Amino acid sequence: MRVILLGAPGAGKGTIAKLLSDHDGSVQISTGDMLRAAVKEGTDIGKQAKEYMDRGDLVPDSLIMRIMEERLQEDDCKNGFILDGFPRTIPQAEELKKLLAKLNMSLDMVVNLDVPKEVILDRLTTRRTCSNPDCQEIYNIKSKPPTPEGKCEKCGFPVIQRDDETEEAILNRLDTYNEKTAPLIGFYQSEGLLRNIVSLDSKKTVEAIKRAL
């Protein structure tokens, strides 16, 4: 499948993308994960991206397009991909359209994960993430806590609250989403690709996406 997942931070894009990827082997592409790995490795791109990310601001479109242009041409994208966290602005969506045309690829569907704001806020403030860039398992202090020592159950690395998951950064990320990313819903509606799914249960959402495909 070639699918874009839209939705506010905390809407569950990462979880749904993983489940869809397990279903048919399409690769999950998360620009957030790629950027966090670049920051950790201290690459040029990581150094440029870090200050924007820590504030909860978007990284400049030109930098994101550099990453995505390379990524979409890697071999594992031939069997399909699930874009999680990209595009995030109208210019990124327009650039993606040109890029896909150049690569002779077309999108099957754009899914908007529709989740109430109270649910989003609660999820984000209680979310914790494994600090190992190769793992990044997501925890939740209420529903899925890490080990009593605060370590990841999968790899043993410390489980942390991300710099962009402080309350101030979260509120900034939600404002940024409303201003810059929510307009993509209209963009993909007019492209005839949009499906809105009220998403509270990830398994049910995945079933709905599979049926719609």
Annotated catalytic, 195? no
Residue 207 has a CB neighbour count (10 Å cut-off) of 12
| Of 2, 36, 50, 88, catalytic | 88
Amino acid identity for residue 140 in this structure = N
Q: Where are the beta strands (DSSP E) in the chain?
A: 2-6, 27-30, 81-84, 109-114, 127-130, 138-140, 159-160, 194-198
Question: Judged by CB under 6 A, which of 38, 85, 159, 177 binds ligand AMP?
Answer: 85
State how far the Cα of 191 lies from the Cα of 70, in Å rounded to an integer.
Answer: 25
Site membership for ligand AMP, residue 50 (CB under 6 A): no
Nearest distance from residue 85's CB to ligand AMP, in Å? 3
DSSP for 156-190 reads: -PBEE--GGGSHHHHHHHHHHIIIIITHHHHHHHH
Site membership for ligand AMP, residue 88 (CB under 6 A): yes
Q: Which residue's structure tokens are 């790629």?
A: 34
Site membership for ligand AMP, residue 120 (CB under 6 A): no
Nearest distance from residue 48's CB to ligand AMP, in Å? 11
DSSP for 126-142 reads: HEEEES-TTT--EEETT
Would you say 171 or 207 has its CB closer to ligand AMP? Answer: 171
Nearest distance from residue 141's CB to ligand AMP, in Å? 18
| Of 13, 36, 50, 128, catalytic | 13
Q: Which residue's structure tokens are 């819903």?
A: 185
Would you say 180 or 195 has its CB closer to ligand AMP? Answer: 180
Would you say 172 or 189 has its CB closer to ligand AMP? Answer: 172
Residues making contact with ligand AMP (CB under 6 A):
9, 31-32, 35, 52-53, 56-59, 64, 85-88, 92, 164, 173
